[in-house]
Amino acid sequence: MSYTGIHGKVAVVTGAAQGIGEAVARLLAEQGAIVAAVDIREEQLNQLVTDLRSQGHQATACPVDISNHQSVEDAVQRIEETLGPIGILVNAAGVLYTGAVSELRDEEWTRTFDVNTHGVFYMSRAVVRNMAERQSGAIVTVGSNASGVPRMHMSAYVASKAASTMFTKCLALEYASDHIRCNIVSPGSTDTDMQRALWADEQGAQAVIAGSPQAYRLGIPLNRLALPSDIADSVLFLVSDQARHITMHNLCVDGGATLGA
């Protein structure tokens, strides 16, 4: 399906080196966006951009640590000067540390918020200033279905995603009069490196689908994990003109795992 309002626009995607961020970057490029791929993993980022360019798409690698506000400000300025006005921002970067609260280290808690929450704030703040001047723009933050449901041994991740979700809604409210739409896509368990790192063995996917009463975790009614492309499709819709009257919305893409909560 071809969406309108994307072709020719500069689209910044964080976390673009792998997983959901990579899928989003690829899909936006296929739709004709000029993709500024942002990530701290420079080698993987360059591989992505090389691949996209070989397919005739427009993409530029932007190695940035989004937890550093000055690096973000500098990167956004460079993108605006070299690629053009940013019309789309997708906050897809994220980190996950697991463990009981009593065992969670200070640096793990801090790093989680540095990327998952502060990074969303720094990128959105830097981009929305310019969007407001132009009276146009679309921002999507990739959250998590866990942002509204407690998870055992995932306290930092869940808290950080809840914060970035509510921040994005506040951002949407403040800039609605400037015709800037801000929404959230909240994935459930998705087949990414981050998800696979949680699995104990090759039966990990089936265990996630089945759920775990001991961890107070429901399974997935649709009986499958999401693919990164499933999440990317939802992001693509929300940044397109087809979603022109949607803002402050949290689109949960989890196969029914949170029962529509």
Provide the sign of the torsion angle of the four alpha carbons 55, 35, 37, 81, taken in this order: positive
DSSP label of 212:
B
Q: Which helix (H) or strand (E) holds 140?
A: strand 137-142
CA distance 234 to 228: 10
Q: 3-class DSSP state for residue 164?
A: helix
CA 79 to each of CA 88, 93, 187, 209, 232: distance values in angstroms, whole numbers, following the listed order: 12, 18, 28, 41, 22
Amino acid at 66: I
CA distance 217 to 235: 26
Active site residue: 3, 157, 175, 216, which one?
157
CA distance 42 to 261: 37
User: How many angstroms from the chain centroid is the CA of residue 250?
Assistant: 12
Residue among 2, 31, 27 nearest 13 (CA): 27
DSSP label of 67:
T
CA distance 33 to 54: 15
Place of tokens 């460079």: 78
The question of whether 216 is a catalytic residue gets the answer no
Integer-rounded Cα Rg, in Å, for the chain is 18
> Catalytic residue numbers?
157
